[in-house]
Amino acid sequence: MKTAIVIPAFNEQVSICEVLAPLLQMTEFDIIVVDDASTDHTLELVSANPQIIVLPLAVNIGAWKAMQTGIRYCHLNNYQRVITFDADGQHLANCIPALCCYQESSGHDVVIGSCPERGSIARHIAWKLFRALSGIKVEDLTSGLRVYGRAAIEILSTREASLLEYQDVGVLLMLKTFGLSFSEVPVDMNRRVDGISRIFYSWGAVAYYMTHTTLLCISKVRMSNELSYQKTIQNYTK
C-alpha cells in the first residue's frame, strides 16, 4: 500500500531533525514535509536530505491548510494511505506500525493515535463539550497523529475541506457527513520539544477556538438533522 507520512512544519528548526531521524528509518513510507513559509532554518534543514519530499509554501497558511497541501499532493500522486505527523516532537515514530496494522485489520477509514491523558484543563473542557455537540465519540479530538485511507484523502483534498481551520473536530465532522468510519488506538506522546500549542496557548486563543468549533458543530448537526428530515419526508411520500 503506497503510504506517505505528511508533516506540516512552521519554524521547527529545534525539533525537525530529531523528528525526522526515526521516520527516515521506516523506508516503506515516503516522508513529505510541508514547510509553511518558515522564517528560521526549517526549510534549509529538511531540504538537505534527498530522501524527503519537500513542499515549500510561499506564504504562511496555517497548520491545517499546510497539512491539506500534503494530503492533496498524495491524492494527485495516488497514495492509498496518509499518516499525519506533527513536527514539534510530540508524536512517536514507533507508534506508526500499530496504527497502520489496526487500520488494515479493522477496515476503518481513519485511525487516530489517541493520548487523552495529555493536555490542560482547557483542552479537556473543550473535548467534553465538542463530543456532546458533535456526537463524535472520540476521546482525543485534537490529536494530529492520524492514519487516513484513500476515501478520507479524497474528501480532505476538496475545496470544501480547505474552509476548515483546525485539524480536529471539523475534519471528523466532514468525514462523518460522508459516512466514513474512524476509531482510536492508544499511544504515548512526548511533550513538545519547542514552541506552544496554536490552540491552547492563551485564554484568548481558547475562546476563539471554542466559539469557532461550537458554531461549526451546531451548523453540521443542524444540516444533518435537516437532511434526515428531508429523507424521511421523501420516503413517506413515495
pLDDT tens digit sequence for 61-82: 998 999 999 999 999 999 999 9
The residue type at 86? D
pTM here is 0.81
- Which residues does 61 contact at the CB level (< 8 Å), separation at least 6? 36, 37, 69
pLDDT digits (tens, 9 = 90+) for 18-76: 999 999 999 999 999 999 999 999 999 999 999 999 999 999 999 899 999 999 999 99
Query: Among candidates 148, 166, 155, which has minimal Cα distance to 81?
Result: 148
Based on the number of CB atoms within 10 Å of its own CB, is 232 exposed (0-12), middle (13-18) or buried (19 or more)?
A: exposed
pLDDT digits (tens, 9 = 90+) for 177-236: 888 998 999 999 987 665 555 655 555 665 656 566 666 665 655 444 443 434 434 444
pLDDT, residue 116, reads: 75
- How far apart CA 3 and CA 31 sit, in angstroms, is 9
Q: Is the pLDDT of residue 5 over 80?
A: yes
Cβ–Cβ < 8 Å for 45, 17: yes
| Of 8-12, 87-91, 195-199, the least confident | 195-199
| Of 3-7, 104-108, 124-128, 153-157, the least confident | 124-128
pLDDT, residue 237, reads: 47
Angle subtended at Cα 109 by Cα 84 and Cα 199, rounded to the nearest 5 degrees: 40
Cβ–Cβ < 8 Å for 111, 83: no
Arithmetic mean of pLDDT, 142-159: 93
pLDDT digits (tens, 9 = 90+) for 94-146: 999 999 999 999 999 999 998 877 766 666 677 677 777 777 778 888 888 99
pLDDT, residue 215, reads: 62
Sheet containing strand 110-114, strands side by side: 52-56, 30-35, 3-9, 81-84, 146-149, 110-114, 182-186
pLDDT, residue 198, reads: 60
pLDDT, residue 236, reads: 45
| CA dihedral sign, ordered 74, 71, 158, 66 | negative
pLDDT, residue 232, reads: 39
Per-residue burial over 106-128, b if 16 or more Cβ lie within 10 Å, else e, is: eebbbbbbbbeebbeebbeebbe
pLDDT digits (tens, 9 = 90+) for 160-187: 888 887 777 788 888 888 889 989 999 9
pLDDT, residue 128, reads: 76
